Structures are given as structure tokens and as C-alpha cells.
Structure 1
């Protein structure tokens, strides 16, 4: 038999009103009492009546995302990892997570309908683009939101969590240059996405500091899968003057690139160096590659958890959080990077 609010209150020697207010984060309930209530909830398995809770607080205890769905949009292991972190944090706070599918051209109106429905207390936005019009749209709605990533251009006055993509790929490129590499390729994410634009900017900036230019024939933009990584690397290696090093925007792309390098009879870290961005995907650990990968690392799952923590914390008015966070990825050097051939 599920424990009811009345039984929980009797167990604690508190009124039902006090228990309810403790669970809903009312400030007049002191911290000691709230901790007693939460401990009893964990021990008894009590679950509040959502309908009653919504009537009492006006909250849906849900956060939402609009998911573009179309024939040309495939599944994305990277976004799946981000959602896993977000969902884990939502469960801790007993929040629901609402995915609202939408045709890409109808995305903004779907956000508006979701915000107006009362079914979610907050929204988050992902897959940021340059001059992204969705930010102004979300700012016009009377509902909390947070952005995973940052747009390029336009207003910078909005809550976000992002990694410093420009700095990450600048530092990775500088390492390759210091190892003597001059022909450096880039297998990047889709060209319209803000993170891919910033990563290319980081590569270009590092090369320019050494009086070098990024050869556009050594740059490919695509969906980040091993298949695209393989085809991109295969084309690079067919050039009369192939690269001696390559940067990949994900370990998924690197998996394909390494396969192409191996099939060409070349040795990773000796004949050609490779650096990938590591989103800490459980199935693609860089240290488990045949030659362990040098990476720039930042966990997508941790980012998802942090986005949920900030959004839910704001909804429940618990704690204070920075409005904008820029995480700096860690550069981890392994065996896939070595001196340029002949150096």
C-alpha cells in the first residue's frame, strides 16, 4: 500500500500542511524540518499526489524541450547522452521531462504552445545556431528557460551553459603545430551549428598565430557519426598533399577517421596524428581506441545534469545559480599525437 500524506504526517508528528509545504520548498519551513520530511519520504517511498500538488502550487513539476523531427534528422548519441544527464537530475527532484516533437519549420510555434499549455514550468533550448531567432522568442515568453550552448551574434543577455569550444580547438591545434604539423585537417559538426563555427574559429586562430592558413579542402562538416568520419578522412588521404594531423569534433567521427587511416596502411600517432573532442560517451572511451586518443574533454551528461539543476532550482526558488556558465574543456594528451613525419 502506498503511503499517503496523512500517514506521513502522523509518522513525523507534523501537520499535513507542514509536510506539504516542506515538500514544495516553502521558505517558512525551516531546513531541519525539511530534511526530516525528505528523509521520511526516501524511507517510506511516499509520492505526492501530482494533481493536488499542482492545485496547491500552480506548478506542473515538468521541464520541456521541443524536438525537431523530420526525415533528414537522425538519432544523435551525443544529444542522447545530454538527455540522460538531464533526466537523472529531474528524477532526483521528482520532475517530469516532456519532449514535444515538431517539424523543424514549426519549432518556434511549438515552443509557444508548450509554454502556454501549463504542462511545463520551464524550457531548455539546444542545438544553437548563429543569430538564433529562438532566443528572442523564448525571452518573450513568461516562462523560465536555459540554453545549452550559445548563439553567435545578437543579444548575449540570456541564461546559458556552454563549453569554450574556441579555446578547446585553439589549444588542440597549437599542440599539433608545436609538434611540427602544418597540414592540419578538421572533421567538424554541421556547418550551421554554433559549436562547429567556434571550433573552426579556434583552429583558424591558432594557425594564424604561426603564419598559417586553414586549407578549406581539409575541412569537412557533417553529422557526427563514424560513417561521416570515415568518408571525410578517406577523401583527405586521397589528396596529393594529405594532412599529417586531423582534429575531430567527436569521438564518433574519430572512430571512422581511425578506420580510414588503418585501411590506408598508416599508423595513428606516427604517420598521422589525431585529436578528438570527447563528450565522455560510455561506448566510445578514447583510452580504449587501438591507439588511445588525445582529446579535449567535457562531459555532456554532466552538462545535462547541470542544466536540469539550474532550471529546476530556479522553478522551485531553491538556491542561487550563475546565469551564464562557460566550461573549459580539459586537453588530455595520449598516444594518438606525435611529431609530424620527418620532424
Structure 2
């Protein structure tokens, strides 16, 4: 099959491209290579891909004509949209970039799928859509009408937009609510990267909500495995769906939403301890209040995902953090 992966130079996208190529599919990558974080990291990810079945187009998803041309020329079977302006806290500082990338860019992808007879669309949503919800674990059957950040609101909007296209044009769409993805080649703005860097360098780390945080940390290989299996399981109409008691995660249309999380939340202090033990140094902690737009706990209900693909994420924090730290030390040539 021929598969478009947007955000192909990104953290999850790069790992997914490698997996799809291993499955003998052709990959058309799309990435604008923006400087939200160090571009050299994105470039070096791409250097790890050695396969003639991979091509990369450097464009913005907001560029409707460029997106349409790629779809028209390449004629993909499947589209996996991972490109987005990421980061909850950054959305408070630069809201317009989220609308450009996550809303305008996404509608351009939907339109390209519609007009080029794409077989299915898989797209990244986020655990942040659960917003002010406090009932744990978070379930895709929960109402998600109270987002706490513009980033979360754009991800909920993506789910609504996808449903509209599934309903109007019968395009199978599958939304994936990722829970705190981490691992080698991760983004420098993420907690694991920042904590590891500062602990190694003997600098303080900012610990929000005074450490009273729970996160369903999910290792990137588990995310990629789940997506690769979902390629073979396009969304289908739910024959039991009822407008009188509507299930938010499915539809009369070929539409589905899944959580992809470890189903095992970890206390932030235990997460930091795992880094300390791997690095062999103690963290200097700067305890801070909960940040605007952030939530104190996440925890994914993944039973729906397991029933569909017979797989659930299960990498332990000790193993996952260990693999990240090994990568970090090797990549940055760190001497401990």
C-alpha cells in the first residue's frame, strides 16, 4: 500500500515511518520542518531512514494547493495525519499557530482525502481532550466538552471535523487519543527530555503541582505498534449506535476514536526517580503550582483498543526511561 504520513520528521511520525517501511508499504512523508524545536533533531531522524520506498515533501499543511498536488500525484491508499502544532503550554503563548496547523491544515487533509478517494484516514487526537474530566480512567464514551487549552480544543475539533467527513462522504476515519508519549528521539520540550538533560547537567527541574501529578506515560514503540495494527482495521459504522443515546466514540458513519495509553498511570515523582536511578544523579527540584491549561492526572481506558487489535501498550517506566536515557547519552555524546 501507499501511505501518507504527515509529521514524518516528528517524534511519533519518524518512528511510525520506520515501522510501516518494515511492513513493506511505501511511505509519502509530509513535514514542514518548522523550528518549534531544534530542526537538526528532525533532520537527524530522517537520516535514520534508509529506504527507497520513502519520499519526503517539505510543505505546510496550510498550503492547500501543495497538499492537493501531492495527493493527486501520489494517489495514497491511506493517510495518517500526525502533523500538528504540539504543546499545551505553548498554545497559551502562540494560539494562532494552532489554528493554522491543527484546524486549517486538518481540513486540507480531509478535503484531499475526499477528492482523491483515500481508503481511510487515521489521525492524532490527544488525551488533553478530556480537559476538566476527573472520572478515571478516561473513557472514549465520556463527554469531552470542557477543554482546558486551545491545543485540546483543536484536537476535539479534529474529531468533530472527521466525523462530518465520515458522515457526508463515507470516509473511514479513526482518531487516536495519545497519552503522554515518550521514548528515544523524543521532543526537547517534553518532560522526560528536559528532566534528563537538567539532571545530568546538575541544573534544577521544574516540578509542577508540587509533584502531585499522575501521567499515563506511553512508550513510543507501543504507540507505533497500535497504529500499524489499526491500518488493517479501518473504522466501520456501529450498527448499535443510537441517536437517542449516542456513543461519542463511534457512529452510524465509519468513524471511531480510541485511547492509546499504557493503562497504568505513574506518579510524577516516581517518573523522576526512574530517571535519577538510570542517570545515577539526584534531581534538584523546583516545586511549582499547576500550570494553566494542565491537568493533574491522566489514565487511559484501552479496552476498546484491545478488543479491536488484540494489543495493549505495556512497556514499563523503568524500561522506557532506560531506553530514552541510553539514546540521549549516545546522541549528545554525554559523559556521566
Higher Cα radius of gyration: 1
Structure 1 length normalisation: TM-score? 0.37
Structure 2 length normalisation: TM-score? 0.37
